[in-house]
Amino acid sequence: MTEREQAFLEYVQSGGQVEASDWMPDDYRAKLVKFIEMHGNSELMGVLPEREWILRAPTLQRKLALTAKVQDEVGHSQLIYRVVEDLGKPREQCLDDLISGKAKFHNVFHYPTKTWGDVGVIAWLVDAAAIISQKALLKCSYSPYARIMKKICWEESFHILHGRDVVLTMMNGTDEQRELVQEALNRWWGPLMQFHGNPIPKDEDPMYIWRIKSQGNEEARQQFLDGYVPQIWELGLTVPDPKLRKSDDGVWEYTEPDWDELRSVVTGHGPKSQDRLDLRRRARENTSWVRSIVLARAA
Amino acid sequence: MEEEVQKTLLEIADDELILGWRDSEWTGIAPVLEEDVAFSSIAQNEIGHARALYELVARERGTTADALAFDRAPDEYRNSRLVELRLLDWEKTIARHWLYEQADAERLERLKQSGDAEVAGLAAKIDREEAYHRMHAKMWFDRLEGQPRFTAALEELRPLLDEGREEHTPELGELWEEMTMVRRSQPAGTKW
Amino acid sequence: MIYEVFRQERKGQPLQHAGSVEAPDRAFADVYAREQYGRRGESTSLWIVPRDAVIEIDDFVDELNRNYHRVDGYSLKEKLKEARERAASAKSADAFSAGKG
């Protein structure tokens, strides 16, 4: 590391903030772009499992809420890709890399949604897992990203309430509705436990070293379990992990998540990875003429 | 509220419901991210308008907006042919948007003159929201005007404004199946 | 074209930079900014400006520490202590001489 890079490292580690026009080490910029790009990709891909259910929402209120939630996620991807673009990578290139499989998106968006139970469980628990990471990003050393995280966290607050409302309504409903929730939870638990990533120690995680992330993976997972397992149990739902318990020193114990599955899924081998990327590719090709008129640049 | 007025309100509500449903199909896959967000708001407004109109009629009939929106058979809906088609080509969606907003503006003007104060009041509220839709439609019309595929779409869709509301294409039935599948999976009155 | 968006949350508050949208012209920029920064009624006012109309200034020079027009250029603690002590001893000297006379 050069002297200038070392000084920069000390600067961010003592809470220094970086703006778009500031000098930054190549490695910092590269890691930042990759991390933020993956977030943008995830928001955009996260839309696809949920949008099917917009068309099947069983009341007008749910229809409006779900449409607004998905709209927010598209809006988030817009905010995020703008940040990436100002760091030097154009949006269209990000979308190219996403569709070709070169760039990744979070594991949870590679799985199918099968019932209205999934709609509730995703909005409640997947969004909860995401919010924990997102709140930690409010302290990101790169200010343009930290600032959009503020808006994103504020908008996400209704998503979790909506999810919880959907789940509670079903839990207070018929036996079949309760089964739908339990069955969805059984399927989503594995991906949820993998969501925050494998427990690499903070000081070995370049994201933490550069203060892009301010929280280690395991810390995030523990926070999720602490916040949400009691909420799950109090509804009479079961978590499909017999080892799950909170030990006396406050640490949650659980069956080791399948890290091979995580690796395989995020490299495009999840059950819905290819279908969804194909949908994105087709939608993009179908509308490239619109962009060439509206954006006056290569579609 | 007179039966004729209820009938008119249901027609408009059905138009807004079905059009809103169709417009919401673009959420997540619109041509440009910023446009995706904008068009989704339009779809939500349309559903919101439908809901407000259904609520007025529902009160007269001792039922709910959701029951009117979801629990009728496909052949009982009174929406226009124009709104029930699935049009996942952007030029057709915008052509429909443009044509619909103009026809709707005229219809709302008439409704604002209604003798029923509540109806006139709601029509005025809806009209104020529709001002944004008309601005959006014009914005796109100005951009796409002259494009052969857009001109073709306008020509293809314009006649559908005048087609009857009593008969529907198979597309409405397909939309209805999807729209009501979760609701129909449990007994009537189940809360979601 | 990139348009920068400034928003005012409530009347009386300053407009603050909120983000940016990509749009081909003013009409589109209006719609897109409105949506991204106001669809929940979270802003009372938006200003949108093409990015290239914004002039950025972030190099400020003060080589000779011009603190005469800043609060940190004024350290009154020592002088105040001295002045208070002087006034206190003058008062007791008066009292002393008054008592004597």
Encode pLDDT of A57-67 as tens digits: 999 999 999 99
Contacts of A21 in chain C (CB under 8 A): 56, 58
Residues of A in contact with B34 (CB under 8 A): 78
Task: Give the span between the Cα atoms of C9 and A93, in whole angstroms.
Answer: 34
Q: Which of B139, B142, B143, B145 is the mutation pick for testing C, counting most C CBs within 10 A?
A: B139
Residues 6 or more apart whose CB falls under 8 angstroms from that of A19 comprise: A143, A144
**Confidence bin at A298 (pLDDT 50/70/90):** very low
Q: Give the bridge partners for A38, in sequence order.
A: none
Residue A253 has pLDDT above 60, yes or no: yes
- Report residue A168 CA to chain centroid gap: 23
Q: Which residues of C touch A (CB under 8 A)?
A: 2, 18-22, 24, 28, 35-36, 56, 58
CB contact under 8 A, A174 and B190: yes
- Tell whether B32 lies on the interface with C, counting CB pairs under 8 A: yes
Q: Residue A121 is inside which H or E element, if any?
A: helix A116-121
Choose among C24, C36, C58: nearest Cβ to A75: C36
Interface test with B, best of C35, C36, C48 (most B CBs within 10 A): C35
What pLDDT shows up at residue A299?
Answer: 33
Q: Check if the beta carbon of residue B99 is closer than 8 Å to that of residue B82.
A: yes
Place of tokens 């069955």: A183
Number of neighbouring beta carbons within 10 Å of residue A169: 17
Distance between CA atoms of residues A56 and A41, nearest Å: 25
Provide mean pLDDT across the span B166-180.
95
Distance CA B186, CA B178 (A): 15
Contacting B residues, span 110-139, partner chain A, CB-CB under 8 Å:
none
Distance CA A282, CA B31 (A): 11
pLDDT for residue C62: 85
Convert the pLDDT of each residue in C13-69 to its tens digit: 999 999 999 999 999 999 999 999 999 999 999 999 999 999 999 888 888 888 888
Pick A21's closest partner by Cβ from C2, C21, C56: C56
Test B37 with A283 for CB contact under 8 angstroms: no
Give the residue-averaged pLDDT of B113-132: 95
Q: What is the pLDDT of residue A180?
A: 97
Summarize pLDDT for B4-38 with one digit per residue, the tens: 999 999 999 999 999 999 999 999 999 999 999 99
> Who among B31, B69, B182 is closest to A290 (CB)?
B31
Mean pLDDT of B84-110: 96
pLDDT digits (tens, 9 = 90+) for A5-15: 999 999 999 99
Q: Do A59 and B66 touch (CB under 8 A)?
A: yes
Average pLDDT on C61-81 reads 90
Q: Over range A134-145, report the average pLDDT.
A: 96
B175 contacts B21 by C-beta, under 8 angstroms: yes
Please, are residues A127 and A156 in contact by the beta-carbon 8 Å criterion?
yes
For C10, other C-beta atoms within 10 Å of its C-beta total 9
Helices A273-286 and A26-54 sit at what angle, rounded to 10 degrees? Answer: 90
Model confidence pLDDT, tens digit, residues A25-43: 999 999 999 999 999 999 9
Cβ within 8 Å, pair B192-A116: yes
Chain C CB contacts of A78 below 8 Å: 21, 36
Q: Which amino acid is at B168?
A: H
Out of A78, A295, A296, the one facing C36 most closely (by C-beta) is: A78
Residues of A in contact with C18 (CB under 8 A): 151
Query: Do the beta carbons of residue B150 and residue A289 sit within 8 Å?
Result: no
The C-alpha atoms of residue A50 and residue A67 are separated, in whole angstroms, by: 9
What pLDDT score does C99 carry? 67
* Distance of residue C74 Cα from the nearest chain A Cα, in angstroms: 28
Model confidence pLDDT, tens digit, residues A104-117: 999 999 999 999 99
Cβ–Cβ gap A55/B24 under 8 Å = yes
Give the number of A-C residue pairs with CB atoms closer than 8 Å. 23
pLDDT at C100 over 70: no
A177 closest CB neighbour out of B30, B51, B186: B186
Of B25, B70, B72, B20, whose CA–CA distance to B48 is shortest?
B20
Residues 97-136 of B with CB under 8 A from C: 135-136
**Nearest 10 degrees: Cα torsion B60, B61, B66, B71:** -150
Q: What is the pLDDT of residues A169-195, one digit of tens each?
A: 999 999 999 999 999 999 999 999 999
User: What is the number of residues in chain C?
Assistant: 101
DSSP calls for A167-236: HHHHHTS-HHHHHHHHHHHHHHHHHHHHTT-----GGG-HHHHTTSS-S-HHHHHHHHHHHHHHHHHTTT
Q: Could you tell me if B72 lies within 8 Å of chain A, comparing CB atoms? A: no
What tens digit of pLDDT does each residue of B51-66 get? 999 999 999 999 999 9
d(C-alpha C31, C-alpha C10), whole Å: 20
At a CB cut-off of 8 Å and minimum separation 6, what does A160 contact? A123, A124, A127, A128, A131
- Give the DSSP per-residue string, B63-79: --HHHHHHSS-GGG---
Residues in chain C with CB shorter than 8 Å from the CB of B32 are 22
d(CA A18, CA A49) in angstroms, rounded, equals: 35
Reported as type and span, the H/E element at residue C44 is: none
Contact C20 A78 (CB under 8 A): no
> At A297, is the pLDDT very low, low, confident or very high (cuts 50, 70, 90)?
very low
Shortest distance between the Cα of C86 and any Cα of chain A, in A, equals 46
Ramachandran region of residue B8, left (φ > 0), alpha (ψ -120 to 50) or beta?
A: alpha
Give percent of chain A with pLDDT exceeding 70.
99
Lowest pLDDT segment from A229-233, B41-45, C86-90: C86-90
Which chains have 3 or more CB–CB distances shorter than 8 Å to chain B? A, C
CA distance A47 to B28: 6
Tell me if the pTM is above 0.95: no
Which residue intervals of chain B are DSSP H helices? 3-24, 33-61, 65-70, 81-84, 90-112, 117-144, 148-157, 170-184
Q: Which of C22, C24, C32 sits opposite B38 (nearest CB)?
A: C32
CB count in 10 Å sphere of residue A50: 22
Question: Do the beta carbons of residue B92 and residue B74 sit within 8 Å?
Answer: no
Residue C92 has what pLDDT? 83
Answer whether B148 touches A (CB < 8 Å).
Answer: no
C32, B37: Cβ pair inside 8 Å? yes
How many CB atoms are located within 10 Å of the residue A58 CB?
24
Contact C19 A82 (CB under 8 A): yes
